[in-house]
Structure 1
Amino acid sequence: MFQTFTAENSPEQGPPRLIALRRALADAGVQGFLVPRADAWQGEYVAPRDARLAWLTGFSGSAGFCIVLPGIAGVFVDGRYRLQVRQQVAPVFTPVDWPEVSAGDWLRDHLSEGVVAFDPWLHTAAEIAAIEKALQGHPVRLQPTENFVDAVWHDQPGPAIRPAFAHPEELAGESSAAKRARLGAALAAAGQATAVLTLPDSICWLLNIRGADLPRNPLVQSFALLHADGSVDLFAHAAKFSDALLQSLGAEVRLAPEEDFAVALTQLKGPVRVDRGTAPWAVQDLLSHAGVSFVWGDDPCRLPKACKNAAEIAATREAHLRDGAAIAEFLCWFDGRAEAVCGGAVETEIGVVTALEGFRRATNQLHDLSFETISGAGPNGAVIHYRVSEDSNRRLEPNSLMLVDSGGQYKDGTTDITRTMAIGTPPEGAARAFTAVLQGMIAVSRARFPAGVAGCHLDALARAPLWTLHCDYDHGTGHGVGAFLCVHEGPQRLSRVSDVPFLPGMILSNEPGYYREGAYGIRLENLIVVREAAPLAGGDAQRRMYDFETLTWAPFDRRLILVEELSRAERDWLDAYHAEVLAKIGPRVSAEVRAWLERACAPL
């Protein structure tokens, strides 16, 4: 469950592995190599076989990449991981602030000429095009090659091959045949013969299947070709599919070995739709060399998958109520442990993770966690995507904060919730920062906005209270969430850089935060779903308006709320929210926890 820095992933292994990789590059006559976090499916989680970045550098974050050159090896990470990367990589690697510094600009600064190799299956066409654009006029060129990390990783694990299973139509809300026919007709209307599907969550959604090839995400790693007639060629290991599952998929879904995908691309009749932002570079290269006409276009499954139907929303509401009861049991338990810690008892971050998972498993309906629980005590809470390990496991201390970000995968929905709790007297300044974070979360929760508004328009609502304190946070305010699929789902986001308009049925997280390095972290998170807003008296009836329905039900720590800083509207929202938490969750918990919940949810 918990990461330990063993011989397989210890930072101390980085220097000899970097030497071996550089030797292989020199033998091949190339000056550099791109090492992404991503696998061929561009997912946040990767199987052990594909954890090349972690194997080489020791960095275990969910986003980033390394560029290895003869004299420098840069590890590129965004604001979520800048503390973490310094803790995890050896000094032979140089952390680089990304995206402030792009790969192309960094290469121009650090390599005067030569060839930088890349694995054509591990980078998207858009990614490679951006680097090549930055290198225009500079004597450095990119070249697709074999994977040099694989060449020196002598004990690399084999591929994950685990059984796939059907996702019931009553939870999916639509049959696979209906989805395929609908999307196939859209391809035909656009004059396209086939769409290339390389995202496992798109394929799982389209075929109403789930799997276990990756930790925490119920995915089947596969590729697929969706044709205009609604049929699908599916490329995956046959051992994942039982005869019964294949029969349920029907004759219009044809299974072939994963290794046949490349050849199948060369035999297509165009026009073929390819998603430039998600498909491996190799796809467009294979099509081009085979003379198959193709056009750039969005993965046809992503937007329909993001807009949950009524059945999916109803199911995920139930999953959140079940999860909310487990969270209430946990928060009650944590209050008792926090009081004990202030009296001298010992509790640790791992103890918190273990207890929380136990409460979720006690529902007898937990399929898996939706991601590795972030359990950050004191200064560890300031590491935005902190993952506790046996080596980092910190004891809880009096007069500190505890940040817990966690979620569950249930067959009827995916949850993700963050709460920050006080242990004894909050540190100086923590309550003011917590209140500002809460105000930002409330502002998003109360938002009402016209059709066409995107995440980039609403993101500032969450940050404005922190900005008044000259504070901010280095991550997006929210990500999309799947329906018993990936806890991080596109294309919708609540972020400064997202221009994808919100549509009814899109589920998002709402999670502003504040992080004081070396002291504590604060983050509060609920999941919300976009819906049609109820009309207002005197409003413009001609204008289509949306707002958010809250899905997550759990109290906020009253000891960290400065009530006098809240406006009347904010206070009313919080009182109404807590009253609903009590009404929805109270009947689902033990008598002891209900009594605690009544106190936690009392009006301010």
Structure 2
Amino acid sequence: MAPKVTSELLRQLRQAMKNSEYVTEPIQAYIIPSGDAHQSEYIAPCDCRRAFVSGFDGSAEPDPQLALEGIAVSCLEVSLGTAIITEEHAAMWTDGRYFLQAAKQMDSNWTLMKMGLKDTPTQEDWLVSVLPEGSRVGVDPLIIPTDYWKKMAKVLRSAGHHLIPVKENLVDKIWTDRPERPCKPLLTLGLDYTGISWKEKVADLRLKMAERNIVWFVVTALDEIAWLFNLRGSDVEHNPVFFSYAIVGLETIMLFIDGERIDAPSVKEHLLLDLGLEAEFRIQVLPYKSILSELKTLCADLAPRDKVWVSDKASYAVSEAIPKDHRCCMPYTPICIAKAVKNSAESEGMRRAHVPKGGVTEISVADKAEEFRRQQADFVDLSFPTISSTGPNGAIIHYAPVPETNRTLSLDEVYLIDSGAQYRDGTTDVTRTMHFGTPTAYEKECFTYVLKGHIAVSAAVFPAGTKEPGYYEDGAFGIRIENVVLVVPVKTKDGRVWWDDLMVVFVKKSKRFCVLLPQYNFNNRGSLTFEPLTLVPIQTKMIDVDSLTDKECDWLNNYHLTCRDVIGKELQKQGRQEALEWLIRETQPVSKQPGTRPVVWQPRAPGLQWQEDTIWGARPIRDRSFASSVVGRRHLGTLKLDTASVSRPSDCGWAAGAHLSGPACERLQLVSGLPALCLLVCPELQALVDRMVPSWVLEINPSLIIEQIITLGPHAIVRSSNFASGKPI
């Protein structure tokens, strides 16, 4: 199918850029971000402006004809690109997951800007290069994040241009059949699910505000509002949120929300709207669109020392409604932080949600998975459209099967399924890759390295989240392993490493160094690790067990034992004997053949490139400056390890990777979703490292090791980015 024809839409938009009804002076460029007024990752159809004007719908409802050409995606848009229109150009920035799709969906009016590639300019640099002198660049201030605005405005200003807020969204003016904003019923959550009432949450929030002389806190993120009031919605498909804003004061609560849904008896009872509550817990319900006017009114009465809290991810319009002297922006709001720390009821709910409550094609498997999920107690909705993909379809990141692309599962192809659901007690998201026949050696090799990355990340200590290392080969297959995890305390043993605000501490053990990266561990403050909540077997048929280290085998066997114990009991309880037998088969322990050794990096020469070690079978990292820069130096400096190869775990069992191009730190962030962590084996540095002792490291202030390569011992070099103030980001 031909891409969407956008000539007329672009003509209308360029006319609007000159229309005095919308702009006081003509603008020479217009920016169309992907997000909504709340900077949501997933957005409603009414906010898919970039997709409307360009045809590139990201993860929107797949077009059947486009799907025939190999592009099929899920049915809601993700914020994954930015369009910029000038008088002569139309450009689209998106990342590597969507290059193929964007190229298929956009017509010749558009230039695809491939983010992450060396020769691709940033949005601001491109604007500076194409705009005439003294140009005005417009954007809707309600949908552009404050931090994005500041960065863009600074670069444009330095080049003699101006970033202009355009209050009327120009795409909306030419979008004649734009969908209405959803306004669906609300769901209330009781203490069995939340563990704490919304009044207690507000009280805790006010304590934090009072400590910092904050008189108002503006809440713009939809998930934060849902969490604060123990409410859930469905305004954005597969996301339990509802369109709203909130402003919390020391004695006032304001909720900006439209529709009659707030008048539902269950909601009124939950929010205590009909009760004569004390003033500080009485909720004022106001129209959704009145947020800016009400915020400006509140700020007009501020005392000189009063402060207003707002996220730096809030829209520029919301941020600018607060006078600069009173504005207190923060990267992580107190609600964001509180929401990440699960109480016992929430933790138990997350665990319950991951226990099954239970000619085959991609679609039939997806339908069957949804059928099983709907049978479980507390099911609300899918958490995203099921990604059910076999063979080459698995290489499409957000593929969702449609009749035109629906492949039959076979014994000869790799199958990937990524599915999840919203339950009252938690949200699930799990990805597994499997083979129903005999996988090739290459498929097993790829799967094994993805698994090694998954295990490495699971052993690390970082803020809570999901981990999904993967590998995607166009036209062949895709591999991904994903678990939801919970951060829990862990004890630290001799032979580990930690850092504090003032020092980095390494504990040496038998001339080897293990690495543990806790947030706090010094002076017996304890450290953290991941507890996997997703309990689904990892197919051992796909694993080259001999390539695993002993510790990796132990991790896998322990994980499968937990799967068998927890899920097996539930399957017995539900009488699912066939599923129980499958579980027992798939969780049999694995063991390596005697005498095998794990794959590691083993560079041989300190020349211009790393050479492959045939004994270990590793694909080495290649860098033209690394060896000559580090040999013979104590301070190893800042280096970028450019590579198109595969990150290989070292003897210490760390690092994750896949066949991705770009700097190592960016590549690992893509694969593991965590700050870059890369271990290399380098015999040439052994003599140098042997002369070093932990006391040398103790003298290093962590603030000085940003993008620094730290030597740990003769067996490894660790390159860790994003270190600051002695704590991981």
User: Would you say 1:294 and 2:327 are equivalent positions?
Assistant: yes
Aligned amino acid, residue 10 of structure 2? L
Cα distance in 2 between the residues matched to 1:280 and 1:528 = 30
Deviation at 1:541, TM superposition (A): 7.0
- 2:445 partner amino acid: R
**Does structure 2 conserve the Cα–Cα contact (< 8 Å) formed by 1:348 and 1:393?**
yes
Equivalences for 1:30-179 in 2 at 5 Å? 30-61=27-58, 62=78, 63-98=80-115, 101-113=121-133, 114-145=135-166, 146-179=168-201
1:512 alignment counterpart: 469
1:588 pairs with 556, 559, 570, which one? 570
Q: Distance in 2 between matches of 1:384 and 1:120?
A: 31
Change in Cα spacing, 1:43 to 1:83, as seen in structure 2 (3 Å) is same
Offset at residue 129 of structure 1 (A): 0.8
Q: Give, in angstroms, the shift of residue 446 of structure 1.
A: 2.7
Q: 1:259 to 1:446 in 2, by over 3 A?
A: closer
Contact map agreement 1:14 1:90 (CA 8 A) in 2:
yes
1:83 is displaced (CA, Å) by 2.9
- 1:412 paired with 2:425, answer yes
Q: C-alpha displacement at 1:265, in angstroms?
A: 0.8
| Gap change, CA 1:384 and 1:300, over 3 Å in 2 | same
Shift in Å, 1:520: 1.2
Q: Contact (CA 8 Å) 2:469, 2:482: kept in 1 or not?
A: yes
Find the aligned partners of 2:403 and 2:88 in 1 and give their Cα distance.
Answer: 34
Pick 1 or 2: higher relative contact order, CA cutoff 8 A, min separation 6: 1
1:322 to 356, 359, 382: 356
Matches within 5 A, 1:192-591: 192-229=214-251, 231-241=252-262, 242-250=264-272, 251=277, 252-268=282-298, 269-270=301-302, 271-288=306-323, 293-297=326-330, 298-322=332-356, 326=358, 345=359, 347-427=360-440, 429-447=442-460, 449=461, 454=462, 502=463, 506=464, 508-534=465-491, 536=493, 542-589=524-571, 590-591=576-577
CA RMSD of aligned residues (A): 2.3
Cα distance in 2 for residues equivalent to 1:581 and 1:243: 42
Change (3 A) 1:255 1:361: same
Residue 148 of structure 1 and its aligned partner are, at CA, apart by 0.8
Cα 1:244–1:353 shift into 2, 3 Å: closer
Unaligned runs of at least 5 residues, structure 2: 21-25, 59-77, 497-521, 591-729
Q: Contact 2:310–2:319 (CA<8 Å) still a contact in 1?
A: no
Gaps of 5+ in 1: 327-344, 455-501
Alignment check: 8 A CA contact 2:213 2:307 kept: no
The structural deviation recorded for 1:134 is 1.8
- CA distance in structure 2 between the partners assigned to 1:244 and 1:354 by the alignment: 32
* Higher deviation after alignment, 390-399 or 437-446: 390-399
SS in 2 for 1:322: coil
Matched letter for residue 546 of structure 1:
L
Aligned residue identity for 1:196: V
Q: Quote the offset at 1:209 in angstroms.
A: 1.0
Specify the SS of the correspondent of 2:154: helix
Q: CA deviation at 1:367?
A: 0.7
Partners of 2:344 and 2:105 lie apart in 1 by 44
Taking structure 1 as reference, are residues 592 and 218 closer, same or farther at Cα in structure 2, changes over 3 Å only? Answer: same
**Alpha-carbon distance between aligned partners in 1 of 2:557 and 2:239, rounded to the nearest angstrom:** 35
| Aligned partners of 1:535 and 1:541 also within 8 Å | no
In structure 1, the partner of 2:663 is none
Tell me the amino acid that sits aligned with residue 419 of structure 1. R
TM-score normalized by structure 2?
Answer: 0.67
CA distance in 1, matches of 2:42, 2:248: 25
Q: Which amino acid aligns with 2:315?
A: P
Counterpart of 1:466 in structure 2 is: none
- For residues 377 and 385 of structure 1, what CA distance do their matches in structure 2 show? 13
Change (3 A) 1:442 1:245: same
Which residue of the partner structure matches residue 692 of structure 2? Answer: none
1:192 Cα offset (Å)? 1.2
Q: Which amino acid aligns with 2:483?
A: N
Cα offset, 1:156, TM superposition: 0.7
Which residue matches 1:484? none
Residue in 1 aligned with 2:628?
A: none
1:14: which partner in 2? 6
1:603, 1:253 → 2: CA distance? Answer: 56
**Partner letter of residue 597 of structure 1?**
L
State the distance in 1 between where 2:373 and 2:155 align. Answer: 48
Are the aligned partners of 1:511 and 1:525 in contact in 2 as well (CA < 8 Å)?
A: yes
Q: Does the CA contact (< 8 Å) of 1:266 and 1:292 recur in 2?
A: no
Q: CA deviation at 1:214?
A: 1.2
Moved more, 95-104 or 362-371: 95-104
CA distance in 2, matches of 1:222, 1:267: 19
Match of residue 487 from structure 1: none
Distance 2:473 2:373 in 1: 30
Distance 1:21 1:76 in 2: 19
Q: State the alpha-carbon separation in 1 of the partners of residues 124 and 436 from structure 2.
A: 46
How far apart are residue 18 of structure 1 and its match? 2.6
What are the superposed Cα offsets for residues 479-522 of structure 1, whole Å, 9 maximum, x if unpaired?
xxxxxxxxxxxxxxxxxxxxxxx3xxx4x212111111221111
**For the residues of structure 2 that align with 1:207 and 1:177, how far apart are their CA atoms?**
8
Structure 1: which 4+ aligned runs deviate by more than 6 Å?
537-541
Q: CA deviation at 1:161?
A: 0.9
Structure 2 CA distance for aligned equivalents of residues 406 and 18 of structure 1: 37
Distance across 1 between alignment mates of 2:545 and 2:335: 45
